[in-house]
Amino acid sequence: MSIKENLSLVKDNILELERLNNRSPHSVELLAVSKRKPLEDLQNAYDCGQRIFGENRVSEAEIKVPGLPSDALFHMIGHLQSNKVKKACSLFNTIQSVDSIKILQKIDRECKLLGKVMNIYLDINISGEDSKTGFSLDSDFPAIIDIVSCSENINLIGLMGMGSNVNNDVEIKNSFLRLVNLRDELEKISKGKLKLSMGMSGDYHLAIEMGSDMVRVGSKIFGLRDK
């Protein structure tokens, strides 16, 4: 199937999942994960109406961001190394993979120099798996929220998480529930509502059931990636 057909199928599926879970139509945003895919594929998706793309590497974004029209929005969703923060701040509209106070503070400094406000998500390791990055569920979130609240260059808009890497729907939903519960707690001390970015190609149906506001779908749109 073509990217156009895949994209239409995913969007129709999201609409159906919204209906089945008593969600408002179009309340769940679709982020097209375009890592390791050529600019031509992104342009194809853009021509079909897709506007939000997710990249894992700054080096790829350097090619793709200037290659699409300015209304295409790019989210950094991969682990962000400290030495890549400056470039990431100049390229991306949103950084979803903020996984440490060090990275948070560096984004703040770089965006201040750029005169830019960066939308961010806190990356939370909701599965507890050692192979995944992110803040642990017992991190000092009041201190993190305090840093954000004192910054004029950071806009905390949500939390990002990856479901447990298991073939068990109940366990995956429980991992998403941890992010939902954390979001509810943090909203008590943050300035406003927080979105949830959770769910990927294999489990976004479960994430929408649990309340996700954005799903990150790659292979179901662009096909399998080359290793």
pLDDT in tens, 62-100: 999 999 999 999 999 999 999 999 999 999 999 999 999
Write down the pLDDT at residue 159.
98
Output the average pLDDT for the chain.
Answer: 96
Q: Please say whether the dihedral angle defined by the alpha carbons of residues 99, 100, 102 and 104, taken in this order, is positive or negative.
A: positive
Give the per-residue SS3 of the chain. Answer: CCHHHHHHHHHHHHHHHHHHCCCCCCCCEEEEECCCCCHHHHHHHHHCCCCEEEECCHHHHHHHHHHCCCCCEEEECCCCCHHHHHHHHHHCCEEEEECCHHHHHHHHHHHHHHCCCEEEEEEECCCCCCCCCCECCCCCHHHHHHHHHCCCCEEEEEEEECCCCCCCHHHHHHHHHHHHHHHHHHCCCCCCCCEEEECCCCCHHHHHHHCCCEEEECHHHHCCCCC
* Percent of the chain whose predicted confidence (pLDDT) is above 90: 92
pLDDT in tens, 103-146: 999 999 999 999 999 999 999 999 888 888 899 999 999 999 99
Question: What residues does 161 pair with on adjacent strands?
Answer: 124, 198
Q: Please tell me whether the overall predicted TM-score, pTM, comes out greater than 0.85 for this model.
A: yes
Would you list the domain boundaries of the chain?
3-222
Q: What CA–CA distances, in Å, run from 145 to 9, 133, 175?
A: 38, 19, 22
Is the domain 3-222 a CATH 3.20.20.10 member?
A: yes
